[in-house]
Amino acid sequence: MHDDFAANLRLMCSYYRSIAEVCRRLDINRAQFNRYLSGRYKPASNTMRRICDFFGVEVHEILLSHGAFRELVRLHPEQGGATRRAPSLALPPTLLERGRQGMSRYLGCYHEYYLAMSRPGQVLCTLVCLERRGEDILYQRIERMPPRTGGRYWHNRYRGAAMLLTDRLFLVDHESLNGHEMTQTVLFPSFKSHVARLNGIRLGVADSSERMPCCTRVVYERIADTLSTPQALSACGLYALDDPALDPDIVAAIHNDMAPGEWHFRARYS
């Protein structure tokens, strides 16, 4: 029996309207697909690759234990989680109350783009989801990094809190899987009726043996609510600067150049 694979496959299918839709889009016979869902059979390697490409996951990921896989693709709290009181930040109550105001319009998921700190010359795209938990605005950020030479993708998951103070968004998080990093991001707010992009700057540490403190420009691009979590995750990873999949405006916004006469590294507003 292939119980974990079957449970993971059922979880992926739950992001779609029906099993029939998944079978139709994959062009797989429903009776055969039901055998995979039951755990009695595992797909052949070419069919497994096609299923994983469709859902935006790696083969080794969909074969993880169901608990590990569920945590990997989960962005939102489990059912009932939103009713639990989230711990407040260790800040003055008046500052916390002020920082929560006006944050509702920024809730949702974003693709975050910046020049990778540990892979010079490449653009890293991560997935960020902001949500309300109790009175606080909390978020998760997932990095999906390809290996340098063969092997498997590896993931970092950051958890943090966000506040809006005097026309600036402040995000502070920590790496929750290995506990080896904290980052701070400051973004310009959006004054448009629809929040599409947010520009800013980020401070962190390169995830390498050097562990060099770095500062980089960053762009948050809002993700459509119709995009499923696996689809959003599948776009995460490393890109070359000239990759046609990247918006040239985003690439221009995240360049870390400095104009002549500038004495400080500044965010770029657009």
Residues 6+ apart with CB under 8 A from 228: 15, 16
Give which of 8, 1, 145, 144 is closest to 63, Cα–Cα.
8
166-216 tens-digit pLDDT: 889 999 998 877 677 889 999 999 888 889 999 999 998 876 667 888 899
- The DSSP code for 83 is G
The pLDDT averaged over each successive group of 10 residues in the chain (270 residues) is 86 84 89 90 89 81 85 56 45 78 91 89 93 87 76 76 92 81 91 90 80 91 84 87 94 91 84
Residue 169, beta-bridge partner list: 164, 187
What's residue 49's pLDDT? 87
**Rounded Cα gap, residues 234 and 78, in angstroms:** 22
pLDDT for 153 equals 66
Q: Which residues of 192-229 are buried (b: 16+ CB within 10 A; e: fewer)?
A: eeebebbbbbbebbbbeeeeeebebbbbbbbbeeeeeb
- The predicted pLDDT at position 79 comes to 37
pTM beyond cutoff 0.85? no
Cα 270 from Cα 197, distance rounded (Å): 9
pLDDT at 36: 92
Reading the block at residue 17, the tokens are 């309207």
Residue with tokens 């074969």: 63
Across the strands, what pairs with 201?
186, 217
Calculate the CA dihedral of residues 260, 262, 264, 267 and round it to 10 degrees.
Answer: -80
Rounded alpha-carbon distances, angstroms, from residue 262 to 52, 217, 268: 47, 15, 13
State the pLDDT at residue 84: 39
22-28 own/partner pairs: CB under 8 Å, 24+ apart: 22/54, 25/54, 26/50, 26/51, 26/54
Give the chain's domains with CATH numbers: 3-73 (1.10.260.40), 91-254 (2.40.128.120)
Residue 87: what pLDDT?
45
Instruction: Confirm if 117 and 171 have CB atoms less than 8 A apart.
Output: no
- Whether the Cβ atoms of residue 153 and residue 58 lie closer than 8 Å to each other: yes
Contact between 172 and 191 under an 8 Å Cβ cutoff? The reply is no
b/e map of 254-269 (b: 16 or more CB within 10 Å)? beeeeeeeeeeeebbe
Q: Round to whole Å and give the CA distance between 137 and 115.
A: 26
- How high is the pLDDT of residue 209? 67
What are the E-state strand segments in 68-168?
108-115, 122-133, 136-145, 154-164
**How confident is the model at residue 130, as a pLDDT?**
93
